[in-house]
Amino acid sequence: MIPWNFRVNANNRDEQLKSKLRREAPGILNWMLRGLAKYVAASYKMHYPEIVERATSEYRISQDVVGQFIAAKCTLSGKTQVTDLYSAFKLWAEASRERHSLTLRKFGDELVKREGIFRSKDGNGSWFQGISLTLSAADRLLNQIAEKM
């Protein structure tokens, strides 16, 4: 992703740009071919400027709804029932006004792409291992009250 921080408006518009680019077309083509040769010589590996790497990383993070949910509501340890975690995700997404179209299956596929998280099954159901929901202060208080009963 390339950040585009320049705005074209009536004051800086180049009305001759089209004809200038036509005149420069052979040079532009040669420049592109030199770039292609470098790309092939580098075994098809691109080296991006830091500003492009940073913008791409920021964009990926902003589009990673599951990652945002994990950061906001989860701890990367323990285990949680699949349906409980998915229900918590849907509630969080709605409350956060995050749009998503993740089914339970797609949500699970996104989770297990992350290091340390995997699916398991036992006699009590299906689980995600390596992730658990973070308890809110209210949840901790309710658990303390329940333990005293």
Quick: pLDDT tens for 63-91: 789 999 999 899 999 999 999 999 999 98
What residue spans define the domains of the chain? 65-136
Contact, 127 vs 80, CB < 8 A? yes
pLDDT category, 4, cuts 50, 70, 90?
confident
C-beta separation of 76 from 117 below 8 A:
yes
Domain 65-136 has CATH 1.10.10.10: yes
Query: What's the burial of 61, exposed, middle or buried (CB within 10 Å: 0-12/13-18/19+)?
Result: exposed
pTM: 0.61
Distance, CA of 22 to chain centre: 39
Enumerate the H helices of the chain as residue ranges.
17-41, 50-63, 65-73, 82-95, 104-112, 137-148
d(Cα 135, Cα 142) in Å, to the nearest integer? 10
Burial of residue 56 (number of CB atoms within 10 Å: 0-12, 13-18, 19+): middle
Portion of the chain with pLDDT greater than 90, in percent: 54
Query: Max alpha carbon distance in the chain (Å)?
Result: 85
